[in-house]
């Protein structure tokens, strides 16, 4: 097996669209045994899967692939050609993905996990330079895109805010983009105006990634959110098809939820409850696009009502910086997602997500910190997933995804076993 057994098994379950329970039954092993094979190599509980099981799983997956090949017109060619935007290797919108291509990207993200977890290093992007152009506030997106590029062996040049860029002197998007293309090999751009990143992309042939364009889209965030949901569901033995997803908060200006609902709509039979304070509801055109696939979409302004029975709670911050003179005060105290509410409305296997940052100032009533020690709170695991997913995006756009596996070397330093001082270890989550 050229990939780790964890990557191999996760990939097999995703391709077969089976929960852990059903997959264990399908290959005739105990669920507990499967769980130990799925733990990261080197963890105490991890066990090696017998060769005969690996061969059997390969056979089932190959059979399934053959069936698929005969039943659909086969997908072919590199992933970057299949997700291209107006013929270019750029990532501007989640609309570029199908369920197959998104899952192909996630198989590449799984292969990046040993690098993201600081067990391996790779230099496949040695010599390449990323231009990180952020004209709006950012911590996670800017740093994780930069770190992802560096962890593949590339280097990063940054510019932040308008004040320190030539845009403050009146330079156009076209000129900025064209000039930058002469300096760097890929660009990530965040800009406060919707559609602006597409304008940057039209002025260059190098890969451009949309790091957030106003209230428009945030495709890499939605990809890492979906990756998180699938990974967490795999651990919990759930399937995404048929799940209940509650999107909470500023659904009008929150670009993360705009991209996420469209991406989730690629799955089957979902129930969405959209819970927004009055005046911050999801825009009609996005509702229309997600609703085309026959999902159930319910809208409410009652948090308690909307969260009932949810499998995923996705909370968001009020995007006050985008308010166009509206008289909206943000969240009232009864709009806060907190432990008491989650206990009351949802089961023990709900996952609570947030793209972060959460507003921790007094009176903001954003996602409460009282869930911090609760295994259902997935926000830091979600943020961590930004690295493997963004590495996969770069590897695909720059066409090096097939080189990664053979480029891996052991790390030379010793990172701490747990990154956060408060990281609680929950069963099956090492």
**Shortest reach from residue 9's CB to ligand NCD, in Å:** 30
Is the Cβ–Cβ distance between 163 and 107 less than 8 Å? no
- Choosing from 240, 356, 392, 393, the residue that interacts with ligand NCD (CB under 6 A) is 356
154 is a contact residue toward ligand NCD (CB under 6 A): no
**Shortest reach from residue 322's CB to ligand NCD, in Å:** 10
10 is a contact residue toward ligand NCD (CB under 6 A): no
- Choosing from 114, 212, 216, 330, the residue that interacts with ligand NCD (CB under 6 A) is 212
Helix (H, G, I), strand (E, B) or coil at 211: strand
Which residue of this chain has its Cβ atom nearest to ligand NCD in the complex? Answer: 317
Comparing CB distances to ligand NCD, the nearer of 187 and 239 is 187
381 is a contact residue toward ligand NCD (CB under 6 A): no
Give the closest residue to 298 by CA, choosing from 261, 278, 273, 315: 273
Comparing CB distances to ligand NCD, the nearer of 59 and 95 is 95
Comparing CB distances to ligand NCD, the nearer of 162 and 183 is 162
Site size toward ligand NCD (CB under 6 A) is 10
**Shortest reach from residue 109's CB to ligand NCD, in Å:** 17
93 is a contact residue toward ligand NCD (CB under 6 A): no
Neighbouring C-beta atoms of residue 361, cutoff 10 Å? 7
Comparing CB distances to ligand NCD, the nearer of 122 and 319 is 319
Rg (CA), the chain: 21
* Measured distance CA(382)–CA(99) in Å, rounded: 20
* Measured distance CA(423)–CA(430) in Å, rounded: 10
**Shortest reach from residue 242's CB to ligand NCD, in Å:** 27
Handedness of CA 408, 410, 412, 416 (dihedral sign): positive
Comparing CB distances to ligand NCD, the nearer of 120 and 317 is 317
**Shortest reach from residue 224's CB to ligand NCD, in Å:** 9
* Measured distance CA(150)–CA(156) in Å, rounded: 7
256 is a contact residue toward ligand NCD (CB under 6 A): yes
- Choosing from 31, 82, 107, 140, the residue that interacts with ligand NCD (CB under 6 A) is 140
Comparing CB distances to ligand NCD, the nearer of 306 and 355 is 355
Comparing CB distances to ligand NCD, the nearer of 20 and 191 is 191
Give the closest residue to 366 by CA, choosing from 376, 375, 357, 377: 357
Comparing CB distances to ligand NCD, the nearer of 321 and 329 is 321
- Choosing from 93, 113, 221, 234, the residue that interacts with ligand NCD (CB under 6 A) is 221
317 is a contact residue toward ligand NCD (CB under 6 A): yes
Residue 288: φ, ψ to 5°: -65, -45
141 is a contact residue toward ligand NCD (CB under 6 A): yes
255 is a contact residue toward ligand NCD (CB under 6 A): yes
Residue with tokens 């042939």: 205
Positions in 395-424 near ligand NCD (CB under 6 A): none
191 is a contact residue toward ligand NCD (CB under 6 A): no
Query: 329: which residues sit within 8 A by CB, 6+ positions away?
Result: none
257 is a contact residue toward ligand NCD (CB under 6 A): no
**Shortest reach from residue 354's CB to ligand NCD, in Å:** 9
355 is a contact residue toward ligand NCD (CB under 6 A): yes
Comparing CB distances to ligand NCD, the nearer of 80 and 390 is 390
Which residues are at the interface with ligand NCD (CB under 6 A)?
A: 140-141, 212, 218, 221, 255-256, 317, 355-356
């Amino acid at each position: 097996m050229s990939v780790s057994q964890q990557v191999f098994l996760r990939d097999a379950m995703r391709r077969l669209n089976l929960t852990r329970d059903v997959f264990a039954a399908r290959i005739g092993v105990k669920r507990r045994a499967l769980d130990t094979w799925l733990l990261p190599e080197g963890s105490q509980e991890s066990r090696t899967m017998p060769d005969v099981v690996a061969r059997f799983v390969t056979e089932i997956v190959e059979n399934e692939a053959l069936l698929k090949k005969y039943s659909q017109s086969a997908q072919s060619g590199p992933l970057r050609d299949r997700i291209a935007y107006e013929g270019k290797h750029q990532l501007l919108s989640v609309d570029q993905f199908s369920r197959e291509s998104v899952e192909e990207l996630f198989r590449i993200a799984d292969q990046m996990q040993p690098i993201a977890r600081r067990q391996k290093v790779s230099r496949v992007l040695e010599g390449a330079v990323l231009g990180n152009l952020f004209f709006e506030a950012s911590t996670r997106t800017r740093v994780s895109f930069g770190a992802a590029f560096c962890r593949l062996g590339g280097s990063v040049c940054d510019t932040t805010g308008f004040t320190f860029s030539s845009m403050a002197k009146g330079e156009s998007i076209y000129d900025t983009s064209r000039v930058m293309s002469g300096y760097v090999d890929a660009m990530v751009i965040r800009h406060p105006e919707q559609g602006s990143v597409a304008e940057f992309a039209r002025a260059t042939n190098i890969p451009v990634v949309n790091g957030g364009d106003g209230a428009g889209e945030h495709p890499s965030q939605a990809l890492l959110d979906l990756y998180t949901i699938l990974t967490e569901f795999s651990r919990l033995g759930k399937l995404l098809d048929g799940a209940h997803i509650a999107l909470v908060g500023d659904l009008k200006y929150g670009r993360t939820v705009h991209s996420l609902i469209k991406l989730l709509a690629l799955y089957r039979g979902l129930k969405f409850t959209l819970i927004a304070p009055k005046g911050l509801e999801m825009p009609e055109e996005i509702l229309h696009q997600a609703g085309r696939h026959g999902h159930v979409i319910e809208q409410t302004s009652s948090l308690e009502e909307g969260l009932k029975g949810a499998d995923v709670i996705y909370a968001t911050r009020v995007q006050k910086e985008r308010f166009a003179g509206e008289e909206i005060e943000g969240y009232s105290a009864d709009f806060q997602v907190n432990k008491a509410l989650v206990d009351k409305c949802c089961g023990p296997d709900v996952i609570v997500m947030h793209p972060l940052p959460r507003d921790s100032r007094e009176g903001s009533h954003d996602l409460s910190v009282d869930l911090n020690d609760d295994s259902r709170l997935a926000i830091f695991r979600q943020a961590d997933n930004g690295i493997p997913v963004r590495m996969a995006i770069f590897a695909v756009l720059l066409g090096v995804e097939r080189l990664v596996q053979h480029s891996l070397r052991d790390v030379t330093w010793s990172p701490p076993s747990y990154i956060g001082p408060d990281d609680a270890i929950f069963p099956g989550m090492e």
